[in-house]
Structure 1
Amino acid sequence: MNNETMIETWRRLLDPAKSWVLFTHGTCVILMEPADDLAQQATTILREYGPVHVGSPAGDFNVITLDDVPGWAVTGHHPDVLTYVAPDELEEHGDLHVGLFGRDKRDRDGREPAVVHVEDRRPS
């Protein structure tokens, strides 16, 4: 999935009043209390809550089947960090396969965060 498609997917999924930052592998950090530098704020959150540590809350995930777009959002131990998984990324679409795949994407984004988009919805 290219970046533009991923950006449009998150725009369809998220509250249009919320600011958020998208990372290379599809992880989105929603900023409930946006700071001055949104990219830096999201990167700091993702560095802490993105990497997977098996056997800890950082290894946990939940899978949400999406209604507005095909695919799933995979959550972790931070409520504002979500990773999108498109149906064409996997052959198996069970919750376990989707969740592990999404968790791996979040782990990669957390270990090597690279911002691809900042959606700044702060009031002017």
Structure 2
Amino acid sequence: MNNLSILEHIKLTINPKFQDWILFKNDTYIIFDDITIVANVQDEAIKLMKEFGPVFAGGSAGDFNVIHLNSTEGWLVSGHGYGMYTYVHPSELDNETPNDLEIGLYGRSKRNLDGENPEIVHINTSNNS
């Protein structure tokens, strides 16, 4: 059994060339291309999460893609926000062999929670990685 923390799993999902990202409470993270041009990264991340995190029926927030990971267990669910991904660990799902729809719907529900009540739990920058 792999005993990595969720943060360690998430670090393994991100291409090492991207060092600037912010993680929210329900495992949604936003990658910033250049954090040095952002005046207040926490405010910007919360603004983006409030804009792109909540899911509305029939809206583009309902669209998602599931990315199967090679570097660690689990999946990433991407949506309509640039650089925004939600990590789903296999232990979060009841089905041992979930399909992309199950994974995507679960990941989308986690992103919605982060969008409705954004709470930053980790800030990663090239200075602290």
In the alignment, structure 1 residue 21 sits paired with structure 2 residue 25? no
Computed over aligned residues only, the root mean square deviation of the Cα atoms, in angstroms, reads: 1.4
Query: 1:16·1:121 contact (CA, 8 Å) conserved in 2?
Result: no
Cα distance in 2, alignment partners of residues 15 and 37 from structure 1: 23
29-38 or 53-62, larger mean C-alpha shift = 29-38
Instruction: Give the TM-score normalised by the residue count of structure 2.
Output: 0.86
Which amino acid in structure 2 is aligned with residue 30 of structure 1? I
Kindly state the Cα deviation for residue 16 of structure 1 after the two structures are TM-superposed: 2.7
113-122 or 32-41, larger mean C-alpha shift = 32-41
5-14 or 73-82, larger mean C-alpha shift = 5-14
Alignment of 1:98-113 (within 5 A): 98-113=103-118
Kindly state the Cα deviation for residue 28 of structure 1 after the two structures are TM-superposed: 0.5
Kindly state the Cα deviation for residue 24 of structure 1 after the two structures are TM-superposed: 0.4
Alignment of 1:26-105 (within 5 A): 26-34=27-35, 35-92=38-95, 93-105=98-110
Q: Could you list the per-position Cα deviations for residues 70-115 of structure 1 after superposition, in whole angstroms to 9, with x for gaps in the alignment? A: 1100011113110000001002211111100000000000110000
Which amino acid in structure 2 is aligned with residue 24 of structure 1? K
Query: 1:72·1:84 contact (CA, 8 Å) conserved in 2?
Result: yes
What stretches of structure 2 of length at least 5 have no aligned partner? none
Kindly state the Cα deviation for residue 36 of structure 1 after the two structures are TM-superposed: 3.1
Query: 1:50·1:110 contact (CA, 8 Å) conserved in 2?
Result: yes
104-113 or 36-45, larger mean C-alpha shift = 36-45
What stretches of structure 1 of length at least 5 have no aligned partner? none
Matched residue SS, 1:116: strand
Q: Could you list the per-position Cα deviations for residues 8-33 of structure 1 after superposition, in whole angstroms to 9, with x for gaps in the alignment? A: 11221213342000000000111123
Matched residue SS, 1:45: helix
Cα distance in 1, alignment partners of residues 50 and 126 from structure 2: 23
